[in-house]
Structure 1
């Protein structure tokens, strides 16, 4: 049972969205671990996800995961746990194109930080740079009038609070 979506609702706080992001990462690790295990067994590879087909597979699994959940209910398990929902500007579930665009733009969370690796930064400095970028990217939402992240503002989606209805 779900509540009606309030399109004028105040967006959830950054701490709540960061909590959902961390929980999503934990769940996605399990999804990717299982999917990659099946891939390696079926392709009989000694090195996990070696080569372009493996990289494409590892990129496609999360895309399928997110696009499926965002277009059906607007909630992955992590979003449901944290009472959050992804909707379009009108409060409706995302279409496939918009959900895929959100997935692709969601890489803005990590790609700029990981680009330090191409500059020769390694080890703890790379981790520090990545974490610093994630923090900066998250704080950029404070500049948006509706407190939405950059990828949501670009593709026309929003994260809203979706509390369960009381019986």
Structure 2
């Protein structure tokens, strides 16, 4: 039986969610490093430019398993636990596999416009790529400010929401 969360719980603030986003990036560095290393060893990759597509697909899959696994189990990744955030469906229940997978795929909207612009403009310099990604992230944050409940686009599209869930003090 799944425990229900208060459906009237206020959505988490943008600052708290963005802080969790940044912290998640720090934690995922280790996950991506290990998965990339394992891929390189198993495929006997000799050069970084060889097998880029396979590496990208494997990292996308590993990250998907990480997020979908945590969201369906407890509604919280490690960073979300630290920042007292939980992802639920509109009724306050934990996400099912289908909705969690949809949320994961749609969450790439954070980066997709920036990645498309980098590709379309043929940018190759690190500064230009990072600038484009930062502009895309800032734009995504601004779009959330337009939503009545300050939801990110991927949550609004897939029917999920992120709430603040502070620990119960006894």
Q: Kindly state the Cα deviation for residue 55 of structure 1 after the two structures are TM-superposed.
A: 2.1
Query: TM-score when scaled to structure 2?
Result: 0.90
Counterpart position of 1:98: 99
Preserved contact between residue 116 and residue 126 of structure 1 (Cα < 8 Å) = no
Query: Unaligned 5+ residue runs, structure 1?
Result: none
State the shift of 1:20 in Å.
0.2
Residue 158 of structure 2 aligns with which residue?
Answer: 155
Deviates more, 1:43-52 or 1:71-80: 43-52
Tell whether 2:131 aligns with 1:128: yes
Q: Report whether the alignment pairs 1:25 with 2:25.
A: yes
SS of the equivalent of 1:75 reads coil
Which deviates more, 127-136 or 48-57?
48-57
Q: Once the two structures are superposed, what CA deviation does each residue of 1:47-90 show, in whole Å capped at 9, x if it has no partner? A: 35724332211110000000000000000000000000010000
Alignment partners' CA distance in 2, 1:67 and 1:160: 17
Matched position secondary structure for 1:121: coil
* Structure 1 position 54 matched with structure 2 position 55: yes
RMSD of the alignment, in Å?
1.6
Task: Figure out how many residues of one structure are paired with residues of the other and give that number.
Answer: 165
C-alpha separation in 1, matches of 2:40 and 2:67: 22
Alpha-carbon distance between aligned partners in 2 of 1:127 and 1:115, rounded to the nearest angstrom: 13
Map Cα deviations across residues 5-64 of structure 1 (whole Å, 9 max, x no partner).
Answer: 221111111111110000001111111111221222222221357243322111100000
Distance 1:131 1:91 in 2: 32
User: Any idea what SS the aligned residue of 1:78 has?
Assistant: helix
1:145 and 2:143 equivalent? no
Partners of 1:95 and 1:153 in 2: how far apart?
A: 16
- Report the TM-score when normalising by structure 1: 0.92
Structure 1 position 114, deviation (Å): 1.5
Q: Which moved more, 1:88-97 or 1:45-54?
A: 45-54
User: Residue 109 of structure 2 contacts residue 154 of structure 2 at CA under 8 Å; is this kept in 1?
Assistant: yes
